[in-house]
Structure formats: C-alpha cells, structure tokens
Amino acid sequence: MSEEEFRRNLREWIKNNAPPSLAGKRILFDTVEFDNYEELRAWQRKLYEAGYLGITWPKEYGGQGLDPIYEAIAYEEFIRAGLPYGRSLGSIGLMVVAPAILNHGNEEQKRKYLPRILRAEDIWCQGFSEPSAGSDLASIKTRAEEKGEYFIINGQKIWSSYAHLANYMILLARTGEDRYRGLTMFIVDMKQEGIKVSPIQQITGKSEFNSIYLQNVIVPKSNIIGSIGDGWKVAMTVLNHERFAVGITLLFSAKISLEYLKERAKIKGISLDIEELEDKIEGLYSFYERLLNKLRKGNIIESESAILKLVASELLQSVYELAVIKFDLNEIMNEKWYIGMLSSRGRTIAAGTSEILRNLIGERILKLPK
C-alpha cells in the first residue's frame, strides 16, 4: 500500500469512527481532563481492531508488519483530528514497554505481553526516575538483590504516569556497582505485596503522576528484559523511540495550536507578531521530513529524535505562553489555553529535560567534549 493510499484510508476511517467525546481536541492537553478510562480503553481496542496500532510490530505479535513511515503518518492524522493516539492511558505500554520487549525481550515475553498491550488489556507504568535521579538516570539507587531464581527489589520511583491504574511496570534497578553496566530492566507485577502507589497532585489539578515505593518486592528472573546488566542499553532504546514519538506529537500540536491561536486572535481583533514562531515551526517540520526520508530508506532514528523532541516541546510552550499573554482571562479559561500553558512546561521535562537533550546533542551529534 502506498503512503498516499494509507493516509487516505486512515482519514476516511477517522471520519467514520471517531467518538464525538474524544474527537476535535484543539489543545492536546484536553486529554488530561478526560477521566473516562474505560472509553479510552475501548478506543484503543477499536484502533487495534482496525489495524492502526502496532503498525510496525511483527504480525505474530498482533502488529501489521509495516514500515515505520506508516506509523508516523498515523501519528500525524490522529493528532490533526484531535484524537488520542499512542498517548494517554496506553502510552507507556505502546511507546515505552513495547520497544523494550520487541528489541530486547525473549520470545515468551513478546507473546505474553505485546498482544495484551495492543488490546488495552494491560495498563503499564514506567519506573525510571527517582527523587535523586531524574535527568541523571544512571544514578538510580533502587536496588535489586539476586536471590537464586528471583530478585528482591527495594527503592522508590517518582513521576510515574498512570501507576495508580497500572497492573504492570517496566522498572530500571541497580544490580551492580558499575554506573551503566550495573543496571537491569525488569517487568514488575504492580498488584503484588510490597508496592505502594501515592498520587502526586499536579499544577493542572490532576494526579496522573505518582510516587511508587517498593519494599522487598519479589521479581522472578524470567521477568528480566534482556540480560542482567543490560538495563542501560534497554533504556536507551526506549528513550530514542519515546522521544521520536513524543516529538511528532508535540510538533503537530504546536502547528495546530498556533493555527487555532491565529483564528481566535482574528475573532478577538488582536494583532500577533508570530512570523518568527511560524518560521521556527516550519523549519522543524522540514527537519521532521528529513527524518521521514531516513525511515523510507530503512534507516533508524537515534540521536536526531532528541532534536525533534527538544525543539518541538519548547515551541509548543511558546505558543501557549503567547496565548496567555495576548488573551483576556475569559478567553484563556473558556478555550482552555491555561491547560496548555501549564501542561506544556512538563513536556520540556518528560522523555529527557531540555538541558539533558542539549548535552546529548552536543556530545553525540556535534561531537563536542564533555
């Protein structure tokens, strides 16, 4: 199937199947106000049944076996329609866990977990960041002690999205003293004894994030993704994939939000000086098209995903900040610009802070000294 045919079919499917309660979100962060989790799960199952989830995954695990370019097109079209895709309730399973298992997991893990992720039968959370190790992920202290055929894990994780709903967690823990080779990635059953989840109230008023406390949690060796000591390698696979997917979402959200900002400013009779902002967004879109060409040639997107995510997140924040500066309070509240303004700040932290991404770009792409 050609890209044009895939895009045309997808647009027609969206037109005929989008639930009115979920469609047309002008501001990406409207989804933080949507609490009907069962409807979100039903929507994800509908996407899966239509063949629009797991687009690049092998068919034997429930995917479509298509090239990555088709997944990028799906992100574009669902975001244009204001619909959840690859984010919200199923985001950790789809964007974080699946790449880890597909690239590093064993056959049993792939067959056990991947189809259930696609069908929204399992909700996952991510146990990476800690109170003293967020941006510096290699400094985590949560420890997994080997005891025969299992590990006993103790520690704390923070900023874990949907941990209060999750039945599984992908967890990075320390199994050795070496900064990088002393890390291992685990699959943890969230419903077992020894796990306590405490919601964190956000500035938006919601509590999507959580702290997770682990006390003598037992995890069998069969739940290791990769091998003991491979945790850093698995984490980097996850982060590259997550940054690319998040970057696409933020880029198109910035474009759509800026278009809407112009519409509302025209209605309100407000003049905007946005030429520079428009140029920056179009420039980033050109860079994104270069990445798509890499995908068409069968190449892998690695460190370039950091550029896409870094610039897109800061541009999106600029759009919402401009709206809050230019509009009156009624407009800000009625059109929910305040949600975007508050939530967009977190997008410069998630999947790597802007500071960390600048260091990564400097070291890996520009080859600057540390």
Chain centroid, CA 230 distance in Å: 22
For 314-344, give the secondary structure using H, E and C.
HHHHHHHHHHHHHCCHHHHHHCCHHHHHHHH
**How far is it, in rounded angstroms, from Cα 337 to Cα 346?**
15
DSSP string, 199-235: EE--TTS---EEEEEEEEEEEEGGGEESSTT-HHHHH
Residue 91: name the closest of 176, 28, 174 by CA. 28
Q: For residue 251, which phi and psi values (nearest 5 degrees)?
A: -60, -50
Chain centroid, CA 349 distance in Å: 12
Residue 203: name the closest of 318, 26, 41, 349 by CA. 349
Q: What is the distance between the terminal CA atoms of the chain, rounded to a whole angstrom?
A: 46
* CB of 127 closer than 8 Å to CB of 96: no
**How far is it, in rounded angstroms, from Cα 6 to Cα 67?**
12
**How far is it, in rounded angstroms, from Cα 158 to Cα 187?**
17
Chain centroid, CA 202 distance in Å: 18
Among the listed residues 76, 77, 242, 304, the single catalytic one is: 242
DSSP string, 96-138: IIHHHHHHH--HHHHHHHHHHHHTT-S-EEEE--BTTBSSSGG
Reply yes or no on whether 275 is catalytic.
no
Question: What amino acid positions are annotated as catalytic residues?
Answer: 242
